[in-house]
Structure formats: C-alpha cells, structure tokens
Structure 1
Amino acid sequence: MQNPAIEIPASDFADLPVTASHGPLRIEYRWANNAAGGVKNDAPIAVFLHEGLGSIAMWRDWPQSLCERLGMRGLVYSRPGYGLSTPRPHHVKWPVNFMTDQARDILPALLDALGIDLRERERMWIIGHSDGGSIALLYAALHPDALAGAVAIAPHLFVEDLSVQSIAQTRLLYETTELRSKLSRYHADVDSAFYGWNDIWLNPAFRDWSIAAELASIRKPLLAVQGYDDNYGTMAQIDTIPEHVPHAQLARLDACGHSPHRDAPDRLNEAIAAFVSRHRQ
C-alpha cells in the first residue's frame, strides 16, 4: 500500500525504458553538492548506491558531506522497489542475479536518461554500501572503462551463515516490532522494499550466489571498507577481493558495524578522501 505521508524531501524523477531485465521504471534521484552553493557543473560525479533496505532519504546527509570533502557532485538515487522509485509488484520476486541486473542495465540506463556521457563516466566514482557495494563492484567489473574508481562499503561477495541469520532476524523484527512503521518513512511501498530484499536473501536458491570470480575484470582503483562488528558479514567478504583484484585496497574499521557511514562517518570519509586523492584524474 502506498504511504501518502512519506517524509522524503522533494526529488526529481527519471523514466527508464524497457530492457531485457525490467519493464519501464520511474527512478527517484537527487543531486548533492551540485551547482548553486556547491561545486562547478564540470566537477566529477560520485554515484551513491544504497543498501538493501535503503533509499535516498536513508542516506541522510552523508552523500552531501562526503561530496563536499571530495569536491565532487553527488548523484543519489533510489533503486527500483525503494524510496519513491517504481515499487516491486508484490507478486514479483527478485531473481538471484538481481544485483547484476542493477549494475549491467539499470544504472547505465539512469546515466543515459540524465545525459551523463562517456567522458563524464570516465571521471565518475561509484560508491556503494552493502547490496549497493556489491552492485558497485559489479558495475566496475561489467563496465571497466566507464568509471574512474569504486568504493565498496560492507559489500557482499557471497552468502554467509551470519548474513542469513541476521536477515532472518530482521524479518522477525519487521513483522513483530515497530520496524515496519519506521521503514515506512523512507519508502512509498514499504512491503515492496522489505520483502523484495528479504525474500531473495532467504531464498535457498540464493545460498550459492557469489560474484567473487566476476571481479577479475576490474581495472580501475578500488577501495573496500568493512567494520569489524558487522553483523551482516565477516571480514572474509572484503578479504576475498584482492584474490581477484590484486590492486584493491582494504580499510578495516574498529568499533564499527554494517553501516560505517552512520557508525564511523569521519573515519570513513577520511579513508575515502585519502584513497580518491591518490587516484584522482
């Protein structure tokens, strides 16, 4: 059910055409640190990819603060099924390769719709968290020349018992506590958002999902960040990356859980800014 009182600041929308992996989509997006009061229109773009239950609104002010630090424009958008973007029809289940579809089809289609050409993409940084971190890795692998670099924050490369246990616990909380009400502030159709994410992660067919071997084609700079107290994945997730991307750099954060941009924003911003500075074109 749509929530007419959703508390999300005004956004813009882009209409995406039908592709092999999806029908027509309306994508909610917003610029951070752009033009008036921000940086020049020719500054590089940082694209932000949210977590499995995220949206534009759930990032809060972190994209803006990081873009100010980097001197970049920020493109923040809600993936299909989240925020004010086209909801997932309730009878539709995300496929096992849904993150590949996001990286291969939907993000490039959004960039096309916004007129972001290849020259701008070659200077563009992809910054993703959790499922969004996995999508950032896949984008860098599938479009190795259409970015300047990537930052994957608490990404998933494969499914661990810890992940499944935590996601099952989140479902229990969603169905028995105020979690559903709280999340409804960030999504027009909160059940579409929640069950799209939760159902696929708890699907037995998803247990063998892995993107590790697909990362070998990543050529651009890559930073992977994870907190030691992450309850959705162990440090084995980012430790696997250099096996396939030898030039990748890792940052491990103490006293930090699954969301470093909320748990340790200053340390995260410092790690990203230092890395980007070393590789800035």
Structure 2
Amino acid sequence: MPSPSHHTQDLWISSLHGRLFVRIWSPDHLSPSFDEAPIVLFHDSLGCVELWREFPAKLASITGRTVVAYDRLGFGRSSAHPGQLAYGFVGDEAERDFPLVKDSLGIREFIAFGHSVGGGMATHCANLHREHCLALITESAQAFVEDRTLAGIREAKQGFQQDDQLDRLRKYHGDKARWVLEAWTETWLSPAFADWNLEAEVGRLDCPVLAIHGDQDEFGSELHPQQIARLTDGPSRMLLIEDCGHVPHREKPETVLLAVAELLR
C-alpha cells in the first residue's frame, strides 16, 4: 500500500454483494478529474489494485489523464465473492460492477485498459458502453480458450501446490486467496468453458483498439491480439513486444506506456 499522497485517492463503493475497493491516480498532483475521459484498468485473474504497482502513476503522468483501478468482487481489498464464478463472468463485469464504479464516480466517457482476462472484460465494456468508450487497450488478453492457455494454467496450478506460493497470493487477497486461485484455474480448465470466445460475445466496436502482447506469453499466442484488433471498425493496431512474457506493463513498461500515449494523442 503506497503512502497516501495528494495525487492518489482510495475509496470504497457499495455493491449488491459487498464493497468494491477503488484507487484513483491523478497526473501532476492535480485533483481527480473526469472532465477528460479517465483510463479505467481491469486486472488479471490473480490481480488486484496493489499488483498494478507503479504502472498507473506512470500512466497518469505520461497521458495527463486520471487513472482508475478497482478490485473486482472477491479480489484484493474488495469484499469476498458470494459463490463460484459464473462461466459468463468475463462479460458480466460490463453489466454489473463496472457500471456501478463508473456511475458512482461520475465518469461519463472512459478509456478501457485490461490485462489478461481483464482485457476481455475491457472489450466487453467497450462493446456494452460503446457510446462512452473512446478507446480500448488490451494487454495479454485472451480472445478464446487456446491449448497454450490451458497448458500455462495447468503448470501454474501445479506451482501453487507449494505452500509459499499461496502465501504470496494471501499477501494481496488475504483469506480470499484460495478462492482467487480456484476461480482462475477451475473456471478456465472446466470443459464447460472450453467454447468461450470474445468474438461470439462482442459485436463490432467503433473505437480505436490497441492490442498489446508479448511474443513469449505463456498463456496465449499472437492469435489473440490479432483477433481482438479485428473486432473494431475504428483504427486498430497490434503491438507484439519481443522477448516479453505475460505482463508487458511490468516487463517492458516504457514500451507499453509510449504505445498507449501515442494512441491517446
């Protein structure tokens, strides 16, 4: 938890099943402003606000825009999830908690930025709230269930058999850590989820799209950003980053920041 400063703000929003934790970063020590469309971040399957680390502050600085991130229900500092993830959970985010965050903060127009499964959620938000979404940025997002995705998840699940690995998750998710892990592994590995894909669920977008992917991503090939870039009738760009795995914003932050700044200029 970074020490409170005048350019970050933490707050909670009440939802049907509990509280959602939200953090807001403002550029150049300004007060949060949603006059210019903020960038809303959607975290990955094991992620939360804290795990974005210093990236949102840098993003606010380089773009001059307010950045908003929130912990989905069941993650980070938000309340525990009341049950199991539904198989439609990727699309559900655009209908349930995201509109709540958006309306509670008074956000009208926004830019959606999602990492991994958060990229799928950001895509759904760009689709369902298309009149308010100015641009979509996906990073290491999955567009369908690929063999490489499942192999990577199986390997990660095996790694979490070691107790200290789950302890690392507890640092960020507390006693929700086991739920977080199983919500990821058991949902994606379920035969009932095998046919999920973004193209079947999302219509044609009309905003600019930037689909970022690492060429060494252990959870998906470059077919994913290719498919996402094709979803829009607006301008699109696929950025394949060399010698980069599943977390470009941590492995190659400057490349990601410059690409986003260029898109938003």
Does the C-alpha gap of structure 1 residues 128 and 100 become closer, same or farther in structure 2, counting only changes over 3 Å?
same
Q: Distance in 2 between matches of 1:185 and 1:213?
A: 36
Q: Match for residue 27 of structure 1?
A: 20
Secondary structure at the residue paired with 1:178? helix
* Matching of residue 73 in structure 1 with residue 66 in structure 2: yes
Separation in structure 2 between the aligned mates of residue 111 and residue 176 of structure 1, nearest angstrom: 39
Q: 2:220 aligns with which of 225, 233, 256?
A: 233
Q: 1:271 to 1:39 in 2, by over 3 A?
A: farther
Matched, 1:50 2:49: no
TM-score (norm 1): 0.86
- Secondary structure (helix, strand or coil) at the match of 1:51 reads coil
Normalising by structure 2, we get a TM-score of 0.91
CA distance in structure 2 between the aligned counterparts of 1:112 and 1:230, rounded to whole angstroms: 35
Compute the displacement of 1:109 (Å). 1.3
Q: Which residue matches 1:21?
A: none
Equivalent in 188, 198, 202 of residue 201 of structure 1: 188
- Counterpart-to-counterpart distance in 2, 1:275 and 1:198: 33
Q: What amino acid maps onto 2:198 in structure 1?
A: I
The Cα of 1:242 is off from its aligned counterpart by 3.9
Aligned counterpart for 1:108 among listed residues 99, 110, 128 = 99
Matching residue of 1:216: 203
For residues 80 and 161 of structure 2, the distance between their equivalents in structure 1, rounded to whole angstroms, comes to 20
Helix, strand or coil at the partner of 2:173: coil
Q: Percent identity?
A: 28
Report the aligned-residue RMSD: 1.8
Selected match of 2:146 from 136, 160, 173: 160
**AA matched with 1:95:** A
Gaps of 5+ in 2: 5-9
| AA matched with 1:129 | H
Distance 2:32 2:228 in 1: 34
Distance 1:97 1:8, change over 3 A: farther
Q: Distance in 2 between matches of 1:140 and 1:9?
A: 33
Do the aligned residues in 2 keep the contact of 1:93 with 1:199 (CA within 8 Å)? no
Please tell me the residue identity of whatever aligns with 2:78. S
SS in 1 for 2:142: coil
Stretch deviating more after TM superposition (39-48 or 156-165)? 39-48
Relative distance call for 1:243 and 1:30 in structure 2 (3 A) is closer
Deviation at 1:165, TM superposition (A): 1.0
Quick one: distance in 2 between partners of 1:12 and 1:99? 24
Q: 1:196 offset after TM fit, Å?
A: 1.4
Q: Where do 1:1-281 residues align within 5 Å?
A: 11-16=10-15, 18=16, 24-33=17-26, 37-38=29-30, 41=33, 42-89=35-82, 92-116=83-107, 121-122=108-109, 124-188=110-174, 189-246=176-233, 247-277=235-265
Q: Deviations over 1:94-138 (max 9, x none)?
A: 11110111112210111122232xxxx22x111110011110111
Bigger RCO of structures 1 and 2 (CA < 8 A, at least 6 apart): 1
Instruction: Measure how far apart 1:243 and its partner are.
Output: 3.7
Partner SS, residue 136 of structure 2: strand
Q: 1:43 to 1:143 in 2, by over 3 A?
A: closer
Aligned mates of 1:8, 1:174 — CA distance in 2: 27
Q: What is the rounded CA distance, in whole Å, between the counterparts of 2:231 and 2:204 in structure 1?
A: 9
Q: Is the CA contact (8 Å cut-off) linking 2:209 and 2:229 kept in structure 1?
A: no
Q: Alpha-carbon deviation of 1:39? A: 6.0
**What is the distance in 2 between the residues matched to 1:242 and 1:173?**
32
